[in-house]
Amino acid sequence: MNVFKHLIAGLIVNCLVLAITARADADTPAFVAIIIDDLGYNLRDGNRALGLPGAITYSILPYTRHSHFLALQANQSGREVMLHLPMENLRDHDIGPDGLTSRLQKTEFVSALHKALADVPFVRGINNHMGSYLTQQSEQMHWLMTEIRAQQFYFVDSRTTPMSVASDIAKQNRILESSRDVFLDNTRSFYSIDLSFRHLIRLAKANGSAIAIGHPHATTLAYLELALPLLKDEGIQLISVSSLLAMRSVRAPRISLASMTSGKKLPDDSQGSE
């Protein structure tokens, strides 16, 4: 590690020490799940993401050049695989081939979902890629959650819009679900990622657990390579999404976030970038 990396590592250590408060129960760790999504386009970035330490969960885009290989590698390394399912957005961004849209009839919608699942092996759960429009549509979300329940998958709402109904409809269908709590890299600077990571730690300490989504950007991966090994010493356990959701299903929140932050304004990332 060169001098610059030593300095950055020291900065992260100091930031985490400042961010992490005394645990409500010293014998009970807080839990974090981190999803790296948008995987499949770039093999070099994908391999670097797979090299991150700990129980990272990898969400892979269907129909991308390296989707099958990266899913295979993740599974062989004991990591959890998700399907990063393309959905219609409000900004008319291209979602790629066979994405889910409101224009599809139910049979077409279900067929497109099954096709995407067939393209990415070893899937345990699903989160949406884009989807700021489709996740607001109750009928299509009922179609989706019915299929997810039949497949015994879990669902994480990437929450690219605060108007999403996806998580609520997942609850109605009694599947393991959550919304992500933090986007790590809406802004790709090291400083902004550090702020988001510290926000993640505060949430985990306050509520017992938290879910973050990041992407295989060079700055994000460089930050996580340095920060993740520090979590264990501070009472944070990095676990898979399925483990975190199973734990949440039987465990009440620890304390309120408001009581810990004492009125301080936290970063607002209720809408992620598409």
Per residue in 208-220, pLDDT tens?
999 999 999 999 9
Range of the domain at 180: 28-225+236-250
pLDDT at 250: 86
| 106, amino acid identity | K
The average confidence (pLDDT) of the chain is: 88
Query: Looking at the domain assignment, is residue 262 inside a domain?
Result: no
Is the confidence at residue 25, as pLDDT, over 70? no
Is the confidence at residue 265, as pLDDT, over 80? no
Query: Looking at the domain assignment, is residue 183 inside a domain?
Result: yes
Query: Looking at the domain assignment, is residue 265 inside a domain?
Result: no
- The torsion region of residue 208 among left (phi > 0), alpha (psi -120 to 50) and beta comes to left
Give CA–CA dist 39/84, Å, rounded: 8
Task: Give the β-pairing of 209-214 and 182-183.
Answer: parallel
Give CA–CA dist 215/37, Å, rounded: 5
Query: Looking at the domain assignment, is residue 92 inside a domain?
Result: yes
pLDDT at 233: 86
Query: Looking at the domain assignment, is residue 33 inside a domain?
Result: yes
Q: Residues 57-64: what's their mean pLDDT?
A: 98
Q: Residues 53-74: what's their mean pLDDT?
A: 98
Q: Residues 95-106: what's their mean pLDDT?
A: 96
pLDDT above 90 coverage of the chain, percent: 78
Is the confidence at residue 261, as pLDDT, over 60? no
Q: Of 250 and 4, which is predicted with more confidence?
A: 250
Please tell me the total count of domains within the chain: 1
Structure letter (DSSP) for residue 28: S
Which pLDDT band, with edges at 50, 70 and 90, does 23 fall under? very low
Query: Looking at the domain assignment, is residue 56 inside a domain?
Result: yes
Is the confidence at residue 28, as pLDDT, over 80? no
pLDDT at 29: 83
Query: Looking at the domain assignment, is residue 193 inside a domain?
Result: yes
Is the confidence at residue 155, as pLDDT, over 80? yes
pLDDT above 70 coverage of the chain, percent: 82
Which pLDDT band, with edges at 50, 70 and 90, does 80 fall under? very high
Per residue in 115-130, pLDDT tens?
999 999 999 999 999 9
228 and 197 Cβ atoms separated by less than 8 Å? no
Structure letter (DSSP) for residue 112: H
Per residue in 168-192, pLDDT tens?
999 999 999 999 999 999 999 999 9
Give the side-chain half-sphere CA count within 13 A for 230: 20
For residue 149, give the CATH number of its domain: 3.20.20.370
Q: Is 44 exposed, middle or buried (0-12, 13-18, 19+ CB in 10 A)?
A: exposed
pLDDT at 258: 34
Query: Looking at the domain assignment, is residue 270 inside a domain?
Result: no
Structure letter (DSSP) for residue 97: T
